[in-house]
C-alpha cells in the first residue's frame, strides 16, 4: 500500500471536512516524527505497536566480491514490536483441539 493509498483510505473512512491534501500533510507529519526519533526513543500507537530506535554495534563483515574482512560501523536502526491486539487481529483463528474418541483409558482384555 502506498502513502497515497493510505491517505485515500483515511479520507474514505473518516467523514470529515478535511480534504486529501490536509490528510496527506498529517500522514507526512507522522512519518517525519518517526524519522526524527533519536536512539532509545519510542513511538507507541496503542493497539498497533511500538517503533523504537536502537543502536547496532560495530561488527566485522565480509566483502562478498573479494571475501576480504571489513568493519561495519555502528549505526541506528528502527525496530517495530507489534501489539498483541493487532497481532491477534491479523492471525488466522486456530481451530479448537479435537476431543479424543472413546472418552478415556481403555480397559485391558483378559
> What are the domain boundaries of the chain?
1-36, 38-91
Name residue, grid cell 498497533. Answer: 48
Question: What's the angle, vertex CA 84, arms to CA 78 and CA 90, rounded to 5?
Answer: 90
Q: Report the predicted TM-score, pTM, of the whole model to 2 decimal places.
A: 0.59
DSSP lists the bridge partners of residue 42 as 52
Which residues, 6+ apart, have CB-to-CB distance to 69 below 8 Å?
60, 61, 62, 63
CATH architecture of the region 38-91? Irregular (4.10)
Q: What cell numbers appear for 61 in the block?
A: 563483515
User: What are the tens digits of pLDDT across the range 19-34?
Assistant: 888 989 998 998 888 8
Q: What is the pLDDT of residues 62-107, one digit of tens each?
A: 999 999 999 999 998 889 999 998 898 888 777 666 666 665 566 6
Amino acid at each position: 500500500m502506498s502513502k497515497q493509498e493510505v491517505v485515500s483510505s483515511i479520507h474514505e473512512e473518516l467523514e470529515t471536512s478535511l480534504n486529501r491534501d490536509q490528510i496527506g500533510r498529517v500522514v507526512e507529519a507522522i512519518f517525519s516524527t518517526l524519522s526524527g526519533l533519536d536512539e532509545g526513543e519510542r513511538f507507541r500507537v496503542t493497539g498497533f505497536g511500538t517503533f523504537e530506535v536502537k543502536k547496532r554495534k560495530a561488527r566485522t563483515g565480509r566483502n562478498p566480491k573479494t571475501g576480504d574482512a571489513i568493519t561495519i560501523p555502528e549505526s541506528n536502526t528502527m525496530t517495530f514490536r507489534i501489539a498483541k491486539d493487532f497481532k491477534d487481529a491479523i492471525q488466522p483463528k486456530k481451530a479448537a483441539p479435537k476431543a479424543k474418541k472413546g472418552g478415556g483409558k481403555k480397559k485391558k482384555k483378559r
